[in-house]
Amino acid sequence: MTAAETGFFRGAGGGVFELQLPLSENFEQQRVRGQLVRVAEDGSPHVEVSDDEGPKDEGPVQPAKNASKDEWVGYALAVDDKLTVDDADAMTRNDLVEKYAK
């Protein structure tokens, strides 16, 4: 029997937790919103490594303009370190797109 794949994530309080992948719907929603961030086991930034390339860290990927508000909240939180979850929640999806779309 193979072991379940896991990943390490930093929560809103700063603690690092090992969670089973794929994430449950609740944890995935928190990840999309930026409240749960994938990290390495020691808490350092997580870097995806593929077999044919070296490490890649391309930063946050902008969601489609018609993506959900949760995706835009997560993106806005990833690109604006002064923005809080409460402030992002108070904005409409269209406000987030207008302010953070490139």
Task: Decide if 42 contacts 67 (C-beta within 8 A).
Answer: no
Question: So what's the pLDDT on residue 50?
Answer: 63
Would you say how long the chain is, in residues?
Answer: 102
- Taking only the tens place, the pLDDT of each residue in 25-37 is 999 999 988 889 9
Model pTM score: 0.62
Task: Decide if 30 contacts 70 (C-beta within 8 A).
Answer: no
- Taking only the tens place, the pLDDT of each residue in 40-82 is 999 888 887 665 555 556 778 899 999 999 999 989 988 998 9
